[in-house]
Chains A and B, each alone.
Chain A
Amino acid sequence: MNRFDYVRPSSVSEAVAAGAEPGSAFLAAGTNLLDLMKGGIARPTRLVDVGRIPGLDAIETLPDGGVRIGALVRNADLAYHQEFARRFPMVAEALLSGASAQLRNAATTGGNLLQRTRCPYFYDTASACNKREPGAGCDALAGENRQHAVLGWSEACIATNPSDFAVPLAALDAVVEIEGRGGRREVPLTDFHRLPGDTPQIETVLAPGELIVAVRLSADAAAFAGHARYLKVRERTSYAFAVVSAAAALRIADGRIEAARLALGGVALKPWRAREAEAALAGASPGFESFQEAAALALAEARPSGDNAYKIELARRVIARALTLAAAGTPERLPALPGSPFASGGSLHD
């Protein structure tokens, strides 16, 4: 239990002013924040409920062909927006592979990008966690860490970022529009989340009080729509966080890869863009060899942070498979089990 004030600003500028007060936290759908408050992990003294600020829930096509997704657009609304899903299929697939229908109906664009890690020691307030309490130590290091990071981690923190949505956004060079007291600024999604270093408590480039107002994808990103897949390997068929996931997108012309986009989820404290792999793929012919090479390059720097070496090999395979699926072409309709290696259900009598 935690006593807190609750304010409901009616405009972005009011929200930004309120959010800058020490101890404030923005509340969107609350599917992550309220859980953290109930568990005593987050203890804001003031909730700034941005959920009803008008104008933040639109999906707009921009004059240059890009799309602008308001911070309050619900995950489900975005995934089921036909035009959006047609142009950015792997973003829709990633969204629908996450959480559950109920959660997706509530969760917002901004909130999804800012959801906190699922490291169990972060949630267990009796454990030492540098992210919760800087300098306290990290109980995951010698603990149950099969799901922890294999890329970009530090001795201070080996957690991963759990968002599915952020992975294709990172691959497609999405841009985050941020509003603060000093006005509006834009940050590429790949620079938005920070690796832990010595300060795992600082998770993004947001300054206190800064509000995500929108996320933008360019027309260039839509050019990958024909060959774009999100693949998510998890410990059950649905309603589980990724062990490893990959967003893979290709532009193929005349049997050659013109350009490739590749990002990984579940392996680091941020969605992991694999630029060396992309560079190697550009100009190559799509196929087993080039995909293997890309996979190897993407994991070149990987090392286990604990009992999780299997994730490195798994990540290579997930990349190779995601690229193979992407090369085969985006399916006409989203699969019944989005992001799953199991495209459809079994039947007893067929």
Chain B
Amino acid sequence: MTDPMPGLTGPRARHGSTLGQPLTRRDGVLKVTGAARYAADNHPPGMLYAVLAVSRVARGRVTFLDVEAARAVPGVVEVMTHANAPRLATDPDEKTNPFAFRLNVLQSDRVRFPNQPIAVVIAETLEAATEGAERLAPRFDEEPARAALDDGEVFTPAVVGAGSPADVAHGEVEAGLGAASHRVEATYDTPAQYHNTMETHAVVAAWDGNRLSLDLPSQALAMTQMRLGQLLGIMPGDIHIRSPFLGGGFGSKAGVSGPQLLGIMAARLLGRPVKLVLSREQAFGPVGHRAPTRQTLRLGADGEGRLTALHHHTRTATSSFDDFYEAASGASHSLYASPAIRTSHDAVRLDTGTPTFMRAPGEAPGSLALECAMDEMAEACGMDPLAFRLANYAEVEPMTGRPFSSKALRECYEQGAARFGWAGRPLAPRQMRDEAGLLVGWGMGTATFPALMFQGQARAVIRADGTGLMETGAHDMGQGAWTALAQVAADGLGLPIDAVEFRAGSSDLPDAGIAGGSAHMATAGMAVHEAAAAAIARLADLATGDERSPLFGAGNAGVVARDGRLVRRDDESRHESYADILARAGVAEIEGRGRAARDPAAGADYAMHAHGAVFAEVKVDPELGQIRATRLVGAFAVGRVINPRLVQSQLYGGMIWGLSFALHEKAVVDRRSGRVMNANLGEYHVPVNADVPPMEAILVEEHDPYVNALGIKGVGEIGITGSAGAIANAVRHATGTRVRSFPIGLADLLA
């Protein structure tokens, strides 16, 4: 059994469907009162505290650890090093699937990146463990670090991102460039970025024989359970992971991380529950990051401003020991029409932790570079940036010729531009000033993100008292899954939302797929929808097949579920409550199971993407170079909107992330040591409130019959795309300076 959210109270039900209603977060009160229990809030009896010691060198071997000194600290119970760490059933360096990242869990003395765990000190108190970890005074046999994109040997990876080919071409790019009247070739640099989830990676692990109980924030419960089963040599079903809330994941909590596995190993070693929580600084290394990119775009356009060729090349980096390649060029696959498109990647290996998926992986840096290059080309053609994008509007997916399942991008451009007041924007840069004399610039960018879907399952129950239960192992990372999925459940079950108990966030529930790829609502939502439909169908069978029911003979399709009753479609005066149907049939409850997956035929026939248009205004001090975004308007076509309040929050969050990408975020890496020099939230800048301008996110109506039956496309990542480019382009428009290295800082604008 899983604990439902303790003390959960939902808002009052509304008449009609809950779909499309802007319900407030059902877990909001728990969050603001501190009652929401995150992984690290758990303290099972007898629990010990584990603290990591991490490497300061980027490459080499651990030659000495003063284990004696650490053990001598009162309260220290054990020091786990490569000498005594439990061996695992499956080598953590074995690549069991492309998403199983290699883990550094004290299986050897080898150091492969700064902040790699080199020991775990376990103690009765956090303080003793911390002190023990300090006493270890490690020594290393150090080898030179490879820290920057220029430091490694360049190679072409087999696949990039989640398994896309590294180099794809359609048409003749060189010929297209040769024939062009205007050409743009430009290189854009984006830095390494770290997820910096508010909640750092944590685990509370308790073993009972070969059964394992975990409090562990997870974006992928079933996948994590499976991987842990392999690594630990136990049945996945014997692992119970509770993950009711995540303090952000952004891709870094999609699998078990090395440090979390170490906590689990420590608990096994000692036979007592163990808690391990990463410090902020320790999260800069072993739990993933977004790799730096250097992107070169080559564009050709004819005299009418239509693209003749588009080549998007990305150089990126992975770790010395594993493979993940930021697929930034992918952003150019499907957005703009061009007779010739090539997207290519190459990479170097650096002594860093392995990069991984980070919110809008590939698309975030890729869209930034593409939107800047499009802006540069618009300028070369003497065209308004929006007019130029419209001139290159892709009516079909350019590289495949497939139709889009739906694409209301034109409406996004129209509504966004109108709301922003884009018309009348001077073509030339550095033309606008505000009353205080600050330079004003307007820029735009197109937003796009694939409408993905994974496989997921759910289980619905209608109980004797007429209430419902919906179970799915979905994940609430703060995006609002507790609320939006419950809305789908209530709608499907024909019940007010308060009459449905909704369970999620636990591995003993049906696998809801992963919360990633902006696909969780589509995946888990469809599973919930299908499960509800299955339960209602069985209920309808009971009623319509029973002569004593007022619904007898209506046929399964002849009834609808509404407010806890089945109602005859052709005669609304004939209806029966769920409780009555079950009571008469003498059934305690009925169950429905749902499975979600993309319809393979639709997936093959149609290109599926969400779209949007973002318009930005920035102000720049003409002498001091200090930049501030002052307005952001986005218009997004994201298919069906289940909860506009939550969707808007997601889009705002994405747009702020885009602002952060353009103007703030950067891991400052010391070229010699490979260490991140700003591994704290004071100096790793993300926007503060004063940086965030007034924003609007317009939801453009879009009906998509192909993506899935609910018409959901996903909103978690698209807000970043378009926004970063819009801001960069606005800076250019304000100042006349085109900055191609991100984040843009005041020093870039001091000319």
Closest residue on chain B to residue A310 by CB atoms: B747
Is residue A253 within 8 Å, beta carbon to beta carbon, of the partner chain?
Answer: no
Closest residue on chain B to residue A120 by CB atoms: B677
- B683 — which chain A residues lie within 8 A by C-beta? 118, 120
Cβ-defined partner of B623 (8 Å) among A120, A238, A321:
A321
Contact A235 B746, beta carbon cutoff 8 Å: yes
Contact B696 A341, beta carbon cutoff 8 Å: no
Closest residue on chain B to residue A318 by CB atoms: B624
**Nearest CB in chain A: distance from B77 CB, A:** 16
Count A interface residues, CB 8 Å.
Answer: 39
- Interface of chain A: mostly helix, strand, loop or mixed: loop
Distance in angstroms between the alpha carbons of A274 and B449 in the assembled complex: 54
Given known pairs A118-B683, A314-B747, the reply for A346 and B694 (CB within 8 Å) is yes
Given known pairs A144-B668, A239-B688, the reply for A233 and B631 (CB within 8 Å) is no
Contact A342 B134, beta carbon cutoff 8 Å: no
Contact B746 A233, beta carbon cutoff 8 Å: yes
List B126-155 residues whose CB lies under 8 Å from chain A. Answer: 127, 130-131, 133-134
Count, A-B residue pairs, CB within 8 A: 107
Contact B127 A233, beta carbon cutoff 8 Å: no
- Interface of chain B: mostly helix, strand, loop or mixed: loop
- B617 — which chain A residues lie within 8 A by C-beta? 346
Contact A314 B134, beta carbon cutoff 8 Å: no
Contact B624 A317, beta carbon cutoff 8 Å: yes
Distance in angstroms between the alpha carbons of A248 and B669 in the assembled complex: 35
Interface string of B663-707 (1 = CB under 8 A from A): 110001111110101100001010111110111100000000000
Interface string of A223-257 (1 = CB under 8 A from B): 00000000001111111100100000000000000
- B693 — which chain A residues lie within 8 A by C-beta? 345-346
Distance in angstroms between the alpha carbons of A307 and B81 in the assembled complex: 40
Contact A341 B621, beta carbon cutoff 8 Å: yes
Distance in angstroms between the alpha carbons of A237 and B691 in the assembled complex: 6
Count B interface residues, CB 8 Å.
Answer: 45
Is residue B588 within 8 Å, beta carbon to beta carbon, of the partner chain?
Answer: no
Is residue A127 within 8 Å, beta carbon to beta carbon, of the partner chain?
Answer: yes
Cβ-defined partner of A346 (8 Å) among B131, B630, B669:
B630
- B745 — which chain A residues lie within 8 A by C-beta? 235
- A126 — which chain B residues lie within 8 A by C-beta? 56, 673, 675
**Nearest CB in chain B: distance from A145 CB, A:** 10
Distance in angstroms between the alpha carbons of A127 and B673 in the assembled complex: 9
Is residue B640 within 8 Å, beta carbon to beta carbon, of the partner chain?
Answer: no
Contact A144 B624, beta carbon cutoff 8 Å: no
- B747 — which chain A residues lie within 8 A by C-beta? 146, 310, 314
- B133 — which chain A residues lie within 8 A by C-beta? 1
Cβ-defined partner of A347 (8 Å) among B619, B633, B671, B694:
B694
- A127 — which chain B residues lie within 8 A by C-beta? 670, 673, 675
Given known pairs A126-B56, A126-B673, A235-B685, the reply for A346 and B746 (CB within 8 Å) is no
Contact B619 A243, beta carbon cutoff 8 Å: no
Interface residues of A (CB under 8 A from B): 1, 3, 40, 118, 120-121, 124, 126-127, 139, 142-144, 146, 233-240, 243, 310, 313-314, 317-318, 320-321, 337, 340-343, 345-348
Interface residues of B (CB under 8 A from A): 56, 127, 130-131, 133-134, 436, 438, 617, 619, 621, 623-626, 628, 630-631, 633, 663-664, 668-673, 675, 677-678, 683, 685, 687-691, 693-696, 745-747, 750
Q: List 19 A-B contacts (CB under 8 A).
A: A120-B677, A120-B683, A127-B670, A143-B671, A233-B624, A233-B626, A235-B685, A236-B691, A237-B626, A237-B690, A310-B747, A310-B750, A314-B624, A314-B747, A345-B694, A346-B630, A348-B631, A348-B633, A348-B695
